[in-house]
Amino acid sequence: MGHMPIPSAVPSRAELIDHLIRTRIAGDVATPRENNLSHYRKLANGDRHYWLGLELGDRWTDEQDVLAVMAERCGVVDDPEYRSGQDTIDPELTVGALDRMASVLRKAAEASERVLFATGHPGGLLEVHRATAAALRAAGCEIVEIPGGLQADEGYVFQFCDVAMLERGATLWHTHSPAPMAAILDGLAHEGRPLPDLVVADHGWAGCAGQRGIDAVGYADCNDPALFLGESEGTLSVVVPLDDHVTSPRFYDPMTAYLLDAAGLSAQF
């Protein structure tokens, strides 16, 4: 699959859906059903690691309620008796969420908003965020520069290509933690600088921003239910369902091109 041809032009909706299925960004994804249900159960049991920075209280203590939201917003199999095997992400839901995210990005560009980008999945989504940040910068938005010297989770929070990430031992770190985003927002407040108007992120970076009342949009996998629960409650504006780490990060390029075109932004690859 690493040699799969990638469309070079902005894909149509139908072309993008076909591409998402072929690359397993959506459709029959690599995440097994057992893993999904385990995460839904742990979230419902109050394991904060799976809350991704959101404060869910006692509103989601039933695993079946979590599954129902994931079936509705992500497209996993809705049968609670389906316990093992292949699980799915509905590509129609992926593209529909991309269209909604595009509307948010278009409004941000029109208002020249301050936008902060961050990722806990640098091996998969860094280029998606980088290209989106570059397009918004070209459209007149201010891409928020984070304070220097921030630390969280035994690492450093820094920016690379306009995207905030966690770094440990000279390695970009995969993290679900909300602590790095909390460090950024607290650091901005400490310096007397305005908070972002919009955060575009994933994992706990998006959850933390939304929980603090900042307009937040992001990406989430089918085994990360918290952000979809946040979207259902209105804490996050848009969450795009996708496999957030497929075999090549270049597979996301057509998706990014579609998103930026729908937002009226020029692709910045």
Each residue of 94-133: pLDDT tens digit?
Answer: 999 999 999 999 999 999 999 999 999 999 999 999 999 9
Mean pLDDT across the stretch 2-7? 55
Mean pLDDT across the stretch 38-52? 97
Whether 67 is in a domain gets the answer yes
* Alpha helices, H only, 82-178: 91-110, 122-138
Residue 260's contacts (CB-CB under 8 Å, 6 or more residues apart) are: 102, 105, 131, 132, 135, 266, 267, 268
How many domains does the chain divide into?
1
pTM of the model: 0.95
Instruction: Give the HSE-up count for residue 6: Cα atoms under 13 Å, Cβ half-sphere.
Output: 14
Residue 33's contacts (CB-CB under 8 Å, 6 or more residues apart) are: 76, 77, 82, 83, 84, 85, 86, 87
Whether 95 is in a domain gets the answer yes
Whether 268 is in a domain gets the answer no
Whether 75 is in a domain gets the answer yes
Whether 259 is in a domain gets the answer yes
Whether 109 is in a domain gets the answer yes
pLDDT reading at 1 higher than 80: no
The string of pLDDT tens digits covering residues 191-211 is: 999 999 999 999 999 999 999
- What was the pLDDT predicted at 9? 86
Residues spanned by the domain of 244: 13-263
Q: Provide the percentage of residues in the chain whose pLDDT is more than 70.
A: 96
Whether 7 is in a domain gets the answer no
DSSP letter for 147, please: P
Residue 173's contacts (CB-CB under 8 Å, 6 or more residues apart) are: 120, 122, 153, 155, 165, 166, 167
The Cα–Cα gap between 124 and 152 comes to 21
Whether 4 is in a domain gets the answer no
